[in-house]
């Protein structure tokens, strides 16, 4: 089955700096890669996703890159703000709701 590894497990950055979270996956059939943000006391919320026919996708301060050859994808947050502090999860799926595999999460702390 699919195995998703996520690094780092914790990340502290100064407000205004950039943050990068990296994930690798094992199943070459995976073609959908969502990223979720989970704030304290809430469930995960989708913030951006990318499909395998695209190498990069950007939404304001958030971007995701995908390298299918190397089987890794990354989340980039620029100009970080305190409200970006949360746990971020990557995931990979070959399609079909029962086959989404999540990473272990990265706790991001943005220091004002």
Partner 1 sequence: ETGVTQTPRHLVMGMTNKKSLKCEQHLGHNAMYWYKQSAKKPLELMFVYSLEERVENNSVPSRFSPECPNSSHLFLHLHTLQPEDSALYLCASSLSWDGEQFFGPGTRLTVL
Residue 34 in the binding site for partner 1 (CB under 8 A): yes
Residue 11 in the binding site for partner 1 (CB under 8 A): no
Q: Which stretch binds partner 1 (CB under 8 A): 17-25, 29-37, 52-60, 62-70?
A: 29-37
- ∠ CA 85-47-71, rounded to 5°: 100
* Alpha-carbon span 62 to 98, nearest angstrom: 27
Binding-site size, partner 1 (CB under 8 A): 24
In angstroms, what is the minimal distance from the CB of 110 to partner 1? 22
Residue 106 in the binding site for partner 1 (CB under 8 A): no
* Alpha-carbon span 101 to 31, nearest angstrom: 12
In the list 11, 22, 27, 32, the residue contacting partner 1 (rule: CB under 8 A) is 32
Residues in the chain: 112
Q: Is 11 exposed, middle or buried (0-12, 13-18, 19+ CB in 10 A)?
A: middle
Structure tokens at 5: 């590894």
Binding site for partner 1 (CB under 8 A): 4, 9, 32, 34, 36, 41-46, 49, 89, 93, 95-98, 100-105
């Amino acid at each position: 089955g699919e195995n998703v590894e996520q690094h780092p497990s914790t990340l502290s950055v100064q407000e205004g700096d950039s943050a990068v979270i990296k994930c690798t996956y094992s199943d070459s059939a995976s073609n959908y890669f969502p990223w979720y943000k989970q704030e304290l006391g809430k469930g995960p919320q989708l913030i951006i996703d990318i499909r395998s026919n695209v190498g990069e996708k950007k939404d304001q301060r958030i971007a995701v890159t995908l390298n299918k050859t190397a089987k890794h994808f990354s989340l980039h947050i620029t100009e970080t703000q305190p409200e970006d502090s949360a746990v971020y999860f990557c995931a990979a799926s070959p399609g079909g709701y029962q086959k989404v595999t999540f990473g272990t999460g990265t706790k991001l702390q943005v220091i004002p």
